[in-house]
Every structure is written in structure tokens, then in C-alpha cells.
Structure 1
């Protein structure tokens, strides 16, 4: 099949550091190429791929410091490139990967193309009261073909035309199994109040545990930067609470593979916590708040603990050595296998032809 993959232009594919959506898009794209499909990736010009790459700009947006108008211009140029490529040799399927609200513009494009289109939704469905405009925009196009990344994502008040649920996967060549734990708990992610890092720090301090943090500081997001300055930075001492900054994928994998457990006290309904799968692939149990896709990703008391609050998290931290690290690795190999993800997309594409 001739398949187009449309990624966000904000991060490189694959991402250098943070970027779960771009990592999943990368694994899918490369897997389809290996299976003999003609794949064209529409992404930033510094993306690394065996597919044909078409890009409106040589580097990803995070590096450019573009203003909003310039960013939108690049998105429109990306659309122009897609339409041009489709007119020159029609695609069998176009798979849009939605990770930003601005990606909604692709709904308009899909309506104009005489080609089968699929939208993989990589964020939480907007709340009608909190984000009324985004909710209305998505509602206007609810009959398009949507793919969820967890079943919990489908349980939104906005009923989209979900044609499949396909879980993300991880590259187990990078996130490798280690049966021997180190002496620290780990937190990885973008530093923002909804990620709950302050709760992980509190739990570590009360249990007298070492916590290593690998996080991205969001200076461009006022609420996130204020959170870093007031809630996180003052509590880092370099001994018990250790900050590593934003790490590369290989650095993150190394930190994960030596952790006692991964702490994930999330404060939002995350559609798919890829970092939890990455941790378990390394053999590291996950202690996560019962939000979003947690119950689909972690097997409670088998590959980690699903908890309701900080008290339960601290109890789990004391009991986490009861979890067999190999069970975590096996769970990822069985349920979040790369080949399974690629096969499921391939079957979906074929069913639309």
C-alpha cells in the first residue's frame, strides 16, 4: 500500500528527548517500511526515517522559536505538500496523528481529499465546559475515522466514530530489560502540575526514599514554569531529590533500567502513558494513580500498583519489591509488542480500501 503518515511538526520524528506521539509515529512508520509498504512521512526536515520524507522546514518547531503565525504558515505548507503529493500519486490511506489542538485543521483537508483518511488521537478529548471551542470543532467532524490509543480515551462524553483501538508500543532495543534494581525511585516527564511531580517528591520524602527526576522545564508555559519555580526547584537537594534535567531516550532508558520503581501520580486522565510501558519494558514496576489508561497499561499487583492517593502510593513504595521485574518485561512484550501495533494498523488500512 501507499501510505502517508502525518506527524506534528513540533518535535522531530523520532524525538530527541520528550515526545511520545512522535516516538509512536516513528515506530509505526519504520515498521510499515520494513513490511514493504511505500510510506511517505510528512514531518520536520530533521526527522530520521527510511520512508520518503516531505517537510515544510528543515528543523522541528521546538528549535526554531517561531511565533504563532510562522508556525501556522508551516502547517499550511505541510498541507500544501500533502495535497500536491496526493494529486501526483494518490495514497491508499492517509494517517493523521493528532497531538495538538492546531492539528484540527487537518479535518478540513480530509474532507477535500478523495482518499481514505484515519485520525489517530494522541491527546485527551476536550471537555465541553473547559475547552468549548475545541470541543465544538471536534464535534463537527465526529463522523471521520478515528483511532484511539486506549479504551479509556473512548469513554468521553463526545462520541466519535472510533473504528479501532490500537495501543502504542516501545522500542525494546532501547528500553532493555534489567533484572537488577538500583537504589532510587524515578519520575520522568514534562514538568507541569497535571503530571503530579510534587506528589512524587512528597511521597519520597515521607518514605525517606531517593527520587531521581528526569524532566522537561517548560519556560514557555507560565503555569508550568511557575510550578517549577515554586513547587519543584526549592525541594531539589541533589542528594535525596535529584534532578537530571531533560534526558535523551538512551539516558532515560538507562535511568529506568536501574530504578526500583517508576512513580506516576498523574492528575489528569492521560489517554496513554507511554512512559509507563517504557519503564515496564526495562523490568521496572509502575506505581500510578488510578486515572485515564492506568488500568489498561499496568496489571495491578503484577507489574506495579494502581493507587488512589499518596497514602496508598507510599504503601506501594514499601511493598514494590514483591513485584517480579521479569513479569513487567513479559507484560510489555505480550501486550505492547511493536509487531502487534504495526499489524493492527496494517489490517485497519486494508479494511478501508
Structure 2
């Protein structure tokens, strides 16, 4: 099968540091290649992939040091480039939310779109009610709740390469928080849990500009006066095995409808149990009492964290390999691809015509003026 993967341009593929969507696309793309498919990745030039790469920007946007950038223009150029090559593929897999809908409506039957973010935002529903011809994939069943009417084809949970994470049979006794410093991720809860137990906590997290005030007014003061807490900052994939594998438990104390939560399966790959608040996708990812604990209050979280060491780390790793490996994810997507292709009337309709030169030129012109 000839498959195109179209990723956002905000992070490298895979990301150099923090990043979710582009990391998933990287692992899916490589797994599809390993399964024998002809895959083309549309991404920034700093991507590392076993697929054919068509670069559409010299580097990913977030870590680009140049001060003046237009992410809209970059993504319009991305779509124009995909349009130019669209006739080369049996299927185009978009990971770019809904931005491609107006330009690919004429060939929606050869696309699927995985939605990676939260869907309870104002104005989203109207878009998915308008462009119903695009088949959608959710990354958890819970993610669908704000839009049950949408054209859902399947839910495919994320997966990671098993060989990327080293299993750790025992911890070094500290607790871990990995993610973003933001109100919805609730690092304050992680600090409270560790403090209540008198256990060391290591925080490896990204601080976005939008969350600087929260960091400076809430989290930094909690860390500054607490000898149990160490702030590590952002870490790379290469650092995660040691960071997560050394933890007695990963604290995932979220307070928002998390669509998936990659860090949970990253911890599981290292054999580390997860203590997660029952919110968003966590009940779909964590098997309570097997790979971690699901809690609803801070007191429950403290109790669960105290007994996390009783869980079998070998069993946690085994559940990761069964449910959340990159190969398992790729095979589930291949089922979706096959169902989509089976519904396309190959015998009755000519192959989708390539986009008109005018359409591509209009996209490129729009990109050149930054929208």
C-alpha cells in the first residue's frame, strides 16, 4: 500500500524534546515501513524516518531560533505540497486537525484524519458538521464525547516502539512527573502527593510561554521551598528510560479531558506503574491494580502512590508490549486503511484526478503572504 503521512510542523519527527503528535507520527510511519508498506512522510527537513521524506520546511517551528515565523504559512505550503503528490498514494493520512478539509474535499474518500487534541472547544463542532465526508480516527473513546455526531471510523490508541524504552526491574525510590507545567496537568498535585508521603519527586517538564505566569506564581514557589522536589526541565527520548525507569511511580494527576497521554505508556514501557486521576482517557489506558491505579481524590492518590511498589513491573511491561507497541498501533491503522479502501468504488470511478494547478498555486500564494 502506498501511504502518505502528513504531520504538523511544530516539532521535528520525532520531537527533539517535548512533543506528542509528531512523536506518534514518527513511530507509526516507521512501523508501517517495517510491515512492508511504501510510506511517504511530509514533514520538516529535520525528520528522522525510515520512510521517504518530502521536506516542506527546513526545520520544525518551535525550536527554530528565527524570531519571525508564520505557522499558518508553513502549513499552507505543506498542504500545497501534499496536493501536488496526492495522486501518488492509495491513502493520505492527515494528523493536522481540520486545516486540510477545504482543499481535499474532492478526494476525501482517500483520506483519514486522526484527531490528536481535545474537542470541547468553541467552533470545532461546526467544522465537523460541515465537512462530514472526512473519516475521522479518535485516539481514545473519551475524546469523542464532545462530538458524538462526527464521522468516526475507529479509535486507535497510541503506540511506541518497544525497543525505544529500557525496562527497569526496580526503582530508585523517587516519584516522577513528566509533561508540561500547566494548570490542566496539575504538577501542584504531584508536589502535594510527594510531600504528603515525604518522598522525593523529580519533575521533567516543558514550560510554554502561555504558562509562564502559572509557573512563576504557583509551581516555582512550591518547588523553591521544598527540598523533596527537583525540577529537571525538558528531557529527550534518550533520557526517558533512565528518568521513568528509576521512578517508583509516575504521577499523572491531570485535571482535564486528556485525549490520550503518551507519558502513561512511556512509563509502562519502563515497567513503572502510573497513578492517574480518573479523567479523560486514563481509564482506557491504565488497568487499575495491574499497570497502575486510578484515583479521584488527593487522598486516594497518596494511598495509591504509597502502594505502587507492590505492582509487578514485569507484568506492566508485558501489558505495554501487548497493547501499546508501535507495531500494534500500525496494525490497527492498517485495519482502518483496509476498510476505507474497500469502500472506495475502484471499478466504477476513475482514479482521483490530481489537483488543478490553480488550486496548488492559490495555496502557495496564500502561504507566501502569511494568510
Q: Structure 1 length as normaliser, TM-score?
A: 0.92
SS at match of 1:261: strand
SS at match of 1:56: strand
Mapped to 1, the partners of 2:316 and 2:35 lie a distance apart of: 28
Unaligned runs of 5+ residues in structure 2 are 342-371
Number of the residue aligned with 1:275: 263
TM-superposed CA distance for 1:133, in Å, is 2.1
In our comparison, the structure showing a higher alpha carbon Rg is: 2
Unaligned runs of 5+ residues in structure 1 are none
Structure-2 change in CA distance of 1:324 and 1:114 (3 Å): closer
SS at match of 2:167: coil
Number of the residue aligned with 2:328: 340
Structure-2 change in CA distance of 1:68 and 1:115 (3 Å): farther
Instruction: Give per-residue Cα distances to partners, 1:279-337, cap 9 Å, x unaligned.
Output: 01101000000001111111111111100011110111111122111121111111112
* 2:158 paired with 1:171: no
Q: Which of structure 1's runs of 4+ aligned residues deviate more than 4 A?
A: 65-69
Number of the residue aligned with 2:222: 235
Instruction: Give per-residue Cα distances to partners, 1:230-278, cap 9 Å, x unaligned.
Output: 1111222484100111011111221000100000110101111110011
Q: Tell me if structure 2 keeps the 8 A contact 1:215–1:246.
A: yes
Q: 1:204-353 alignment to 2 at 5 Å?
A: 204-219=194-209, 221=210, 224-237=211-224, 239-353=227-341
Q: Structure 2 length as normaliser, TM-score?
A: 0.87
Q: 1:9-158 alignment to 2 at 5 Å?
A: 9-64=9-64, 70-86=70-86, 89-98=87-96, 103-113=97-107, 116-125=110-119, 127=120, 131-158=121-148
Instruction: Give per-residue Cα distances to partners, 1:76-123, cap 9 Å, x unaligned.
Output: 11111111112xx4310000013xxxx422111220337510001111
Mapped to 2, the partners of 1:271 and 1:228 lie a distance apart of: 23
Q: Tell me if structure 2 keeps the 8 A contact 1:13–1:43.
A: yes
SS at match of 2:230: strand
Q: Tell me if structure 2 keeps the 8 A contact 1:94–1:115.
A: no
Question: Which structure would you say has the larger RCO, counting Cα contacts within 8 Å and 6 or more residues apart?
Answer: 2
Structure-2 change in CA distance of 1:303 and 1:138 (3 Å): same
Q: Tell me if structure 1 keeps the 8 A contact 2:168–2:246.
A: yes
Structure-2 change in CA distance of 1:320 and 1:146 (3 Å): same
Stretch moving more, 158-167 or 179-188: 158-167
TM-superposed CA distance for 1:347, in Å, is 2.2
Q: Tell me if structure 1 keeps the 8 A contact 2:140–2:260.
A: yes
SS at match of 1:269: coil
What RMSD over aligned residues (CA atoms) do the two structures have, in Å? 1.7
SS at match of 1:43: strand
Number of the residue aligned with 2:354: none
Q: Tell me if structure 2 keeps the 8 A contact 1:214–1:252.
A: no
